[in-house]
Structure 1
Amino acid sequence: MTQISVIIPTYNRGQFAVEAINSILAQTYTDYEIIVVDDGSTDDTKEKMKAFGNQIRYIYQANKGPSAARNTGIQQANGTYLAFCDSDDRFLPTKLEKQMHFIKKNPNCCFLYTWYYNVNEKGVITKLRKPFTCNTKEQLQYFLFARRFTIRTSTVLVHKKCFDQVGSFNENYWYSQDWDMWLRLAASYQGYCLEEPLSEYWLHGENRSSLRVKIHHPEIIENTLKRYGWTGEQIATLEKLYGKNRNE
């Protein structure tokens, strides 16, 4: 069985997708497959993907949104572990190798994320992002809920069995679906942080604007409070326990 399935959802980002794939093909770890899910692109994405031949599995579907594209990748994955690389992000060469090494040293780890770089449109690193290392599942739950840090989708490595437990990405969410998923994973699994930047998050006009979209946040917050069974008093207690510091 393949160890890792790398899932790349894409929509009208042909050249970005090429660069994302190239960053995966440059990995020092080699036991992986690449699944590109084209969510109804109308640009030249399909033609650009042909150049990779059997190095990738290319799946085209009608436009249903990023959650649906990721879910298609999950359903088609053969890997024990799943990694996600948004088509406008990139993996650094040792990402998968170092994550698998971490998991071998921490066999209870099913949900692993890393630090990452912000990169601007010119390809210049503008910031090192350092998500927290949380010592308990409760701490991770609270820090995610309070938005003390962001887990970037292109940093994670998740055991496929986790999605059997928590379900798929919510296909009604075209924004913030990753935040919703990490909150759901944190309900069942302790998240681990590999304290090294292993991915690049490329900021450009389209995803900069999407950062401001909070349309689904009230629903995600309500669902999370129900899932965790938290009251206002419990949240206040967690605030006192974990403080207001950020380390990003």
Structure 2
Amino acid sequence: MNEAATVSVVIPAYNAAKLLGGAISSALTQTRTPDEVIVVDDGSTDATAAIAAAYPAPVRLISQANGGVADARNTAVREARGDFIVLLDADDQFLPNHLERCIATWQSMATSGQNERLIVTSNAYRLTRQGLTTSTILSSNFPPPALQRQKILETNFAGIFAFYPRHLHDEVGLFDATMRRGEDRDLWIRAIFSGWRIVPQREAHAVYRMAGTSLSADHERMAEAERQVLQQTRDRFADTLTATELAYLDLRLSSPAPRQLIHEANDLIRRDSWLDAADRLRQAAQMLPSDGRVRARAWLATHRWARPLLSIHLRMSDTRLRPVSE
């Protein structure tokens, strides 16, 4: 990345009037100012468009009929003039040196024997109803390149705070606009299976606002979106999947989603239904073989002496990570 390279921040926004100003301002107050900030108003019925229009250049507003977040991101990417794309959702924020750190991470990896087909995913603090937490979104056990094909099939280890060359989309396509959830993971899978690699910017230089709901119906929708992503992966890459990858995808597609099993296990733990909780956790661990935390929880749930520890941990997590109310 040379000094003349340009950067486009893309922000999809739908009825985001309460929060959009914070997102735009966080992009404009970077230590490395972006060359443009593209806000796509995705058919909002509130003041979203008016707020975006009130900002001068380099903010650009594009308005369209509602098509979902993937469609809005695609509109922004098509219109982007930058050499690099930076993703930001309307309810999240960058901390001041986010872009500077992403650029430094990309440059260091691209000049250390890696090719330039690199995606930087940045860490972020979680914002909950109780305020900004020290909990962050990226796992400390970020998978190395050799393990990323298998790991991305297990779970979306890449956060949504992404920085990458614009030509990624020329090679693997845009976000899947037919998807209302899971569209980012679908893109990362296509990239990884096409030879791209994801590298972490491990320090938290952004703020991720947790969703305002945690209903079981939402878990079910997320599980269905995950199933769609995995089915599309099996269909798209059928000729290049290894026997291990194919067997894993078949297991996942014939079983409940791990996130749903873990959600059910948590509810069972809250009701002291330990045998059923342990069974759900064992199933989840089978489908997430590289997730040591799930394996540990499954083991602890089978031992009476350890069960109070799991209950305490779950109560603390419920309190600490309760979503922000809109």
Quick check: TM above 0.5? Answer: yes
Change (3 A) 1:172 1:14: same
Residue in 1 aligned with 2:93? 90
1:188-199 matched pairs, under 5 angstroms? 188=194, 189-199=196-206
Partner-residue secondary structure (3-state), 2:65: coil
- Is the CA contact 2:120–2:164 (under 8 Å) kept in the aligned structure 1? yes
Of 113, 129, 154, the residue aligned with 2:137 is 129
Larger relative helix fraction: 2
Superimposed CA distance per residue, residues 166-194 of structure 1 (whole angstroms, 9 cap, x where no aligned partner): 10111110111111111111112011112
Residue in 2 aligned with 1:30? 33
Of 141, 151, 171, the residue aligned with 1:143 is 151
Residue in 2 aligned with 1:39? 42
Are 1:113 and 2:121 matched, yes or no? yes
Using the alignment, how far apart are the partners of 2:85 and 2:225 within structure 1?
Answer: 25
Using the alignment, how far apart are the partners of 1:98 and 1:224 within structure 2?
Answer: 32
Change (3 A) 1:151 1:211: farther
Aligned length: 240
Larger radius of gyration: 2
- Report the RMSD for the aligned CA atoms in angstroms: 2.5
Of 201, 220, 223, the residue aligned with 2:208 is 201
Using the alignment, how far apart are the partners of 1:230 and 1:59 within structure 2?
Answer: 42
Shift of 1:3: 1.4
Q: TM-score, normalised by structure 1?
A: 0.87
Greater CA drift, 185-194 or 33-42 = 185-194
Query: Unaligned stretches of 5+ in structure 1?
Result: none
Query: Unaligned stretches of 5+ in structure 2?
Result: 249-285, 295-326
**Residue identity opposite 2:232 in structure 1:** N
Of 6, 10, 13, the residue aligned with 1:10 is 13
Using the alignment, how far apart are the partners of 2:154 and 2:174 within structure 1?
Answer: 23
Identity of aligned residues (%): 27
Shift of 1:31: 4.1
Shift of 1:75: 0.2
